[in-house]
Amino acid sequence: SVVILDFGSQFTRLIARRFRELGAYSVILPGSAPLERIMQENPQGIVLSGGPSSVYDENAPKPAPGVLDLDVPVLGVCYGMQFLAQQAGGDVKRAGKREYGKADLTSYGGQLFAGIQGEFVAWMSHSDSVTALPEGYEVVAQTADTPVTAIENTVTRRYGVQFHPEVVHTPKGGQLLGNFLDICGVTRDWTAEHIIDELIADVQAQVGDGRVLLAISGGVDSSTLGLLLARAVGEKLTAVFIDHGLLRLGEREQVEAALLPLGVNLVTVDARAEFMAALNGVSDPEQKRKIIGREFIRAFEREARKYGPFDFLAQGTLYPDVIESAGGEGAANIKSHHNVGGLPDDLAFKLVEPFRTLFKDEVREIARLLGLPDAVRMRHPFPGPGLAIRCLGAITEEKLDILRRVDDIFISGLREFGLYDGCSQALAILTPIQSVGVMGDERTYSFTAALRAVTTDDFMTAEWARLPYDFLATMSNRIVNQVHEINRVVYDITGKPPATIEWE
């Protein structure tokens, strides 16, 4: 594997992503991870990430003692390169001007750039630069502003790049990282087939004859986990899907159709009446969320007792949830129980989290191989509280029914026009606003529906999607014609921040 030591760059995760796309397994550890921790990963190469610090900062982060003495290739990126250079006896200075954005390499060569041809656009973001080379090192790339843009010492196998090869703005960066993998001698067998075999073997080793409980949400992670566990432990798995009555049109049937034929021991629980009763008359968004969370745990607990006892609880936790990164070190930063925080002590399960080392797109690839239909596999995220937080104010069956039909027209339309995959998330909202309209010769006084679509990488910030006007016009027509309770359709043109993606 390749170990990536994180010194706080916002791009560190991308380095791991690129390596995995290249078929190599990599792990991110805190920059200060002790040598023993790093050795557990059998590192064949080490990457020192970028970071916000200057090597002159009093508390400039550094690798633990002994790490740089390992006889494996080391690649320093940005801050990582400056650290390598300084530590080997070179000099680093605050550059006259900050270099930020795209730069053309005026020359490049050496092992890191082997086989790369033509222009090389490098994405820069730095204010310190290496000004004097350490002994044994050579400059292997330059830009007009930065004479020392990449360095290497082929004897000690130490390499450094001032730019960020991991971002898309460095189009040939993937080739460079591939070269580093070759220098490390890493085998590129991190493919989805290989991962599936390993995950199944790991689950079987962990679970043995034990019984496993899994909550199915209908999203890609839990559905894929259901398929994987069915392969690994068969009937020892009980997958519980709670229909809380806040699902989208046809969603329950879709989940059942996706999982039952592939051998998942799926139990669908109709808890619609309980949820509706608990939510009756509640209009405050936070109250609604709390009630849904509480009712979910209550229902899940009841089913667990009914079908139990279980030894294990499976969760679809992904790598981004568990990364030990520079931001906050150690266990405090790891959240494992984020879905089941409220289960009582006597339902103490051991956790099975086979996807702990995977990124979302790797899960999607596994899902494809396990036969999950594309409609589920490529689905946008859908919040646990479901349509309740898109039906503003107190919910009723009637309002949910209206919202379901609007949402279905919008989402089906996005698919029909080939726009679905270009959005990170799309949703319809039923507002409590009533306004006057005219249909045929009649005055109407009906509800306003809002449509929202966003693009985002991480759902922490988002832009509203610039959907074509013609498409929005078609959606508006279809909605008012087919859903008689709606006489006005608006499109949400607010980013996050200041708005959130969901309306409640």
Binding residues for ATP: 217-223
The residue within the footprint of ligand XMP, chosen from 425, 446, 476, 487 (CB under 6 A), is 425
* Closest to 296 measured CA to CA, from 247, 360, 346, 348: 247
Q: Does 501 bind ligand XMP (CB under 6 A)?
A: yes
- Nearer to ligand XMP by Cβ, of 162 and 339: the residue is 339
Q: Least distance (Å) from ligand XMP to the CB of residue 300? A: 14
Contact between residue 358 and residue 17 where contact means Cβ atoms under 8 Å apart: no
Fill in the per-residue mask, 251 to 290: x = in contact with ligand XMP (CB under 6 A), - = not in contact.
--------------------------------------x-
The region of 121-129, 145-153, 379-387, 468-476 touching ligand XMP under the rule CB under 6 A is 379-387
* Closest to 93 measured CA to CA, from 120, 143, 54: 54
Q: Does 502 bind ligand XMP (CB under 6 A)?
A: yes
- Nearer to ligand XMP by Cβ, of 302 and 496: the residue is 496
Q: Does 459 bind ligand XMP (CB under 6 A)?
A: yes
- In this structure, how many other beta carbons lie within 10 angstroms of the beta carbon of residue 363? 25
The region of 11-19, 57-65, 156-164, 382-390 touching ligand XMP under the rule CB under 6 A is 382-390
Contact between residue 49 and residue 21 where contact means Cβ atoms under 8 Å apart: no
- Nearer to ligand XMP by Cβ, of 236 and 244: the residue is 244
Beta bridge partners of residue 427, listed in sequence order: 452
Please give the annotated binding residues, written as ranges.
217-223
> CB under 8 Å to 252, separation ≥6 — which residues?
218, 241, 243, 268
Cis peptide before 73, with omega less than 30 degrees from 0? Answer: no
**78 catalytic residue (yes or no):** yes
**C-alpha–C-alpha distance, residues 482 and 449, integer Å:** 13
- Nearer to ligand XMP by Cβ, of 384 and 422: the residue is 384
Q: Does 373 bind ligand XMP (CB under 6 A)?
A: no
The residue within the footprint of ligand XMP, chosen from 31, 165, 226, 383 (CB under 6 A), is 383
Exactly one of 126, 164, 244, 251 is catalytic; name it.
164
Cis peptide before 285, with omega less than 30 degrees from 0? Answer: no
Amino acid making up residue 27: V
The residue within the footprint of ligand XMP, chosen from 211, 356, 478, 496 (CB under 6 A), is 496
* Closest to 408 measured CA to CA, from 264, 289, 251: 251
Query: Which pair of structure tokens corresponds to residue 276?
Result: 């509706």
Q: Least distance (Å) from ligand XMP to the CB of residue 384? A: 4
Q: Least distance (Å) from ligand XMP to the CB of residue 342? A: 14
Q: Does 107 bind ligand XMP (CB under 6 A)?
A: no
The residue within the footprint of ligand XMP, chosen from 171, 381, 432, 468 (CB under 6 A), is 381
Strand 237-243 with 266-270, pairing: parallel
**C-alpha–C-alpha distance, residues 425 and 420, integer Å:** 8
> CB under 8 Å to 503, separation ≥6 — which residues?
389, 390, 392, 429, 450, 452
Q: Does 386 bind ligand XMP (CB under 6 A)?
A: no
Q: Does 100 bind ligand XMP (CB under 6 A)?
A: no
Q: Does 468 bind ligand XMP (CB under 6 A)?
A: no
**166 catalytic residue (yes or no):** yes
- Nearer to ligand XMP by Cβ, of 24 and 450: the residue is 450
Q: Does 500 bind ligand XMP (CB under 6 A)?
A: yes
- In this structure, how many other beta carbons lie within 10 angstroms of the beta carbon of residue 379? 20
Contact between residue 340 and residue 313 where contact means Cβ atoms under 8 Å apart: yes
- Nearer to ligand XMP by Cβ, of 326 and 363: the residue is 363
Contact between residue 122 and residue 174 where contact means Cβ atoms under 8 Å apart: no
* Closest to 375 measured CA to CA, from 414, 402, 339, 401: 414
The residue within the footprint of ligand XMP, chosen from 25, 385, 391, 452 (CB under 6 A), is 385
- Nearer to ligand XMP by Cβ, of 147 and 381: the residue is 381
**C-alpha–C-alpha distance, residues 113 and 141, integer Å:** 9
Residues in contact with ligand XMP by CB under 6 A are: 289, 381, 383-385, 425, 459, 496, 500-502
Active site residues: 78, 164, 166
